[in-house]
């Protein structure tokens, strides 16, 4: 497909290239984009940082939460706290401390698990798969599964409600960029899987329309002896992701897309070299992404665009206001104090607005909205 050449409007003092060579010292760029970072955009140049608000009232504001302070009494993923949700996406955080005694099945949509801590074994319709910290595990809709932790497994669960996950179109960089599909692992019908097949009674906890039903079997329904096809549980670890990089231009989050659905996208930020061109921005640019809500879960490392954010925390920036780096991070980026990032984080951008779960108020950092002040 050939894209038509266009000539954007230009007014006043502006840079010739977005995110680079700002027109004057002390000028701050803000991007206004449509359709996430995929559509039309305008770049405004401000005298002051666009996040330098002096006061904020009302419930619509940037938020941050420490998920590690949530209660961990749940024995089923369906009982795990609902963090954020809309009609197309449900985000939960779950700690599996012990071997699951029932199987679960989600009839509402695909589930994407991100393993934040721990490791263990996954048994499912497709076989046996060992999982560990840093893994994404994609579980197709209505797949039977259970976990056997070797050490307690803490995970982020992202449901694609009434939808399924696919891979982003990598266009001109080709389908082997970011990660080759050959690195995707699938379960095996191995000795461990066959050994767990027994003739004892088992229950399946089925979720449909967020209501639970229980199906009883006089045997273990994970009794598959083989399969063929192109639907399966798949796994990829963040260490298998090779990010797109540009030493002269700070790439938008969309360049780090890992999984996509029809109504939201999941991106992964992994360690990479910093931009080296003297005129290029070294931190995420100030932006209004007004067609999407933005959620970031922080897995490990030092989060170079934020202050006082630790692993296990989650930030939520609903659409409708400018967000971007904290002042200290922005100044450090301007001085090129860092040569590489070491952060690992999961970003979820949703096309539809997210509601906040009732338990989140107990683990919220209420001063987060003030953290952009000098």
- Residues making up the annotated binding site are 287, 293, 323
Q: Is 29 exposed, middle or buried (0-12, 13-18, 19+ CB in 10 A)?
A: buried
Rounded to 5°, the CA angle 11-323-268 comes to: 115
CB atoms within 10 A of CB 338: 16
- Angle made by CA atoms 198, 200, 202, in degrees to the nearest 5: 105
Known binding-site residues for homogentisate equal 323
Measured between alpha carbons, how far is 336 from 279 in angstroms, rounded to an integer? 11
Phi, psi for 312 (deg, rounded to 5): 95, -5
Contact 228, 209 (CB under 8 A): no
Q: How far apart are CA 234 and CA 186, in angstroms?
A: 5
Which helix (H) or strand (E) segment holds residue 193: the answer is helix 191-195
Decide: 300 and 271 in contact? Cβ < 8 Å.
Answer: no
* Residues paired with 44 in a beta bridge: 30
The residues, ordered by sequence, that sit 6+ positions from 361 with a Cβ below 8 Å of its Cβ are none
* Upper half-sphere CA count for residue 44 (Cβ side, 13 Å): 13
**Quick one: which of 131, 76, 70, 129 has its CA closest to 98?**
76
* DSSP conformation letters of 314-362: EEEE-SSS-B---HHHHHHHHTT--SB---EEEEEEESSPPEEPGGGGG
Contact 139, 329 (CB under 8 A): no
Q: What share of the chain is helix, strand, coil (3-state, %, to 5)?
A: 10, 40, 50
Q: List the catalytic residue out of 43, 85, 250, 299.
A: 250
Active site includes 19? Answer: no
HEC string of 70-126 equals CCCCCCCHHHCCEEEEECCEEEEEEEECCCCCCEEEECCEEEEEEEEEEEEEEEECC
Known binding-site residues for Fe cation equal: 287, 293, 323
Question: Which residues are annotated as catalytic?
Answer: 250
């Amino acid at each position: 497909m050939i894209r038509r050449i266009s000539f954007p409007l230009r007014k006043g003092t502006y840079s010739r290239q977005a995110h680079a060579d700002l027109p004057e010292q002390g000028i701050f760029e803000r991007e206004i984009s449509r359709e996430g970072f995929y559509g039309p955009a305008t770049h405004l140049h401000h005298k002051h940082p666009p996040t330098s608000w002096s006061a904020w009232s009302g419930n619509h504001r940037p938020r941050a939460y420490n998920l590690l302070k949530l209660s961990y009494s749940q024995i089923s993923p369906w009982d795990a706290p609902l963090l954020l949700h809309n009609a197309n996406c449900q985000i939960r955080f779950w700690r599996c401390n012990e071997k699951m005694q029932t199987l679960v099945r989600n009839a509402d949509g695909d589930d994407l698990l991100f393993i934040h801590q721990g490791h263990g074994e996954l048994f499912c319709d497709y076989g046996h798969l060992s999982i560990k910290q840093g893994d994404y595990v994609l579980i197709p809709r209505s797949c039977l599964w259970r976990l056997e932790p070797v050490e307690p497994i803490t995970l982020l669960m992202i449901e694609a409600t009434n939808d399924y996950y696919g891979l982003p179109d990598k266009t001109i960089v080709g389908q082997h960029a970011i990660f080759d599909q050959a690195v995707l692992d699938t379960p095996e019908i191995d000795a461990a899987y066959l050994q767990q097949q027994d003739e004892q009674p088992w229950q399946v906890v089925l979720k449909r329309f967020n209501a639970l039903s229980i199906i009883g079997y006089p045997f273990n329904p994970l009794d598959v002896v083989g399969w063929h096809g192109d639907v399966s549980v798949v796994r990829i670890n963040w260490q298998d992701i090779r990010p797109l990089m540009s030493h002269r231009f700070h790439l938008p989050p969309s360049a780090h897309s890992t999984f996509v659905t029809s109504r939201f996208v999941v991106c992964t930020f992994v360690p990479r070299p910093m931009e080296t061109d003297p005129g290029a921005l070294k931190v995420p640019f100030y932006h209004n992404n007004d067609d999407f809500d933005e959620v970031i879960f922080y897995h490990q490392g030092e989060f170079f665009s934020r202050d006082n954010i630790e692993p296990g925390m989650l930030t939520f920036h609903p659409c409708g206001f400018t967000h971007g780096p904290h002042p200290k991070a922005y100044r450090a980026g301007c001085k090129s104090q860092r040569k590489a990032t070491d952060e690992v984080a999961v970003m979820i951008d949703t096309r539809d607005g997210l509601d906040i779960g009732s338990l989140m108020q107990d683990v919220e950092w209420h001063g987060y909205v003030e953290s952009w002040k000098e």
